[in-house]
Structure 1
Amino acid sequence: MHLTIVNPNTTASMTRAIGEAARAVAAPGTVIEAVNPAHGPASIEGYYDEVHAIPGMLAEMRARPGADAFVIACFDDTGLEAARSLMAAPVIGIGEAAMHLATLVAGRFSVVTTLAVSVPALEHNVHKYGFSHRCGRVRSCEVPVLELEDPASGAYGLISAEIARARAEDRAEAIVLGCAGMADLAARLSAEHGIPVIDGVAAAVKLAESLHALGLKTSKACGYAPPRAKTYSGMFAAAAVATNG
């Protein structure tokens, strides 16, 4: 299968790292393409960044109509509902994917993300996905997204310390890493803390492969119906669709 992973921010180095993490878990027959838009925020930290990342992300998906599935590589699941409306192929957000897998290996999990500004959006997603009764807490380790790439930032230690607090205070039995930039840390953190630590990129890749193997695509019966044909003006003219699908 051909799996397109879209990093909604514009940081190419992070996109490359995400692609490497995805290829490390992909099945032999899965071709991974990792891309990011040229226009938008360098990182997504809160609601303002998120909304400005969506147009570029959707454009990357529209440019790849032959993909068998898409993964949105931002833990906020940036633009997930719009992407599912636009594309017929399955679209998986790494946040939703990781939370689903956490519930299969633990009764209770906590999320460890980057900054406090992202916590309300992630708490909203936890509730929307129906995991409020399984998630102990959404925690932040106060590491800016782009500093995850800097070994001198101390990011690993801060994330690890927050996991320890989640185990002690939330009774967490598993940890979900709340940023695609943390993808390469999951195995090491799991070994250190003795509980499952789940990376959303890996989780989304395996779920995408499963949906493809089962021949499942996004339902277009109601909420994810294709966008209706209408005029989009100005800078969004290219977002218009030609037909009602």
Structure 2
Amino acid sequence: MTMRILIINPNTTASMTETIAMAAAKVASPGTTILAVNPEEGPASIQGPEDGEAALPGLFAVFDRYMSVEDRFDAVIIACFDDTGLGELRARSSVPVTGIGEAAYLLAAETAAPFSVVTTLPVSIPVLEHNIKSYGLLTQCARVRASEIPVLDLEHHPEQALARIGTEIAEALEADQCRSIVLGCAGMADMALILENTYSVPVVEGVSAAVAWCEREVAARLANTDTI
């Protein structure tokens, strides 16, 4: 089965978009094509509700630009862990749309609950907690934690960021009684395997979780169409 997935990074940092694209390509099934894009205008990173609000015009413009041709893409991923604009885009889209936060929470809840989330800065915690509650997964989440790592430091100082995130994971495993860890930022996508091997616990990152969600959802819709 061939499939085309559009990934929209709502911030304007192109290097992060490239990291997201590589993470998605690694897990995509044969026949799945990935295109990752970002707006030209808007915040360089999304840290909290104000940045999320500022990113919406660029996000919606990119969505409209790439989805204006019918059947061009089979599914859309919003590559911001805040799931910025997810409700709005899902309501106006004829194809499946998910955010990397939603996809990661669902996967962690299915495979190793309860999970703890390790995100970037404390300003992001209320947004993520609100989303988890709205998805009906509050009882599956042990805690949302901040690593005190600004989003752009994930690229500018990756070794220091990895060490700090690892420290937070160790604390979560000891204090939260969680069975898995969810990495709460798209910029952490390439850290999951390292951290999983280091701490011997499932570590879920949202980009690969979202690609898997899209492939399942598109396949299910095609199967339903074939039986009608």
Assess same fold via TM > 0.5: yes
Return the offset for 1:28: 1.1
Q: Aligned to 2:142, what secondary structure does the other structure show?
A: strand
The answer for the alignment partner of 1:190 in structure 2 is 196
Report the Cα distance in structure 2 between the residues aligned to 1:150 and 1:24, rounded to whole angstroms.
Answer: 23
The one-character-per-residue Cα deviations of 1:61-109 (angstroms, maximum 9, x if unpaired) are 1112221100000000000001112211111110010000001111210
Asked if 1:206 is matched to 2:212, the reply is yes
Equivalences for 1:1-245 in 2 at 5 Å? Answer: 1-65=3-67, 66-151=72-157, 154-215=160-221
Equivalent residue of 1:133, what SS?
helix
Unaligned 5+ runs, structure 2: 223-228
Mark the runs of 5 or more structure 1 residues left unpaired by the alignment: 217-245
In structure 2, distance between residues paired with 1:211 and 1:130: 19
- Give 1:153 shift: 6.0
CA offsets per residue over residues 143-190 of structure 1, 9 Å max, x none?
A: 000000024660000000000011011001000000000000001100
Report the identity percentage: 52
TM-score when normalising by structure 2: 0.93
Give the paired residue count: 216
Contact 1:147/1:153 (8 A) holds in 2? no
SS in 2 for 1:144: coil
Q: Which runs of 4+ in 1 moved over 4 A?
A: none
Superposition deviation, residue 26 in structure 1: 0.2
Determine the structure 2 residue equivalent to 1:242: none
CA distance, structure 1, for counterparts of residue 92 and residue 35 of structure 2: 19
Q: CA deviation at 1:134?
A: 1.1
| 1: CA distance, partners of 2:29 / 2:157 | 30
CA 1:107–1:55: 2 relative to 1, 3 Å = same
Determine if contact 1:4/1:67 at 8 Å carries over to the other structure: yes
Asked if the contact 1:183/1:201 (under 8 Å) is kept, the reply is: yes
Say what the alpha-carbon RMSD is for the aligned residues: 1.0
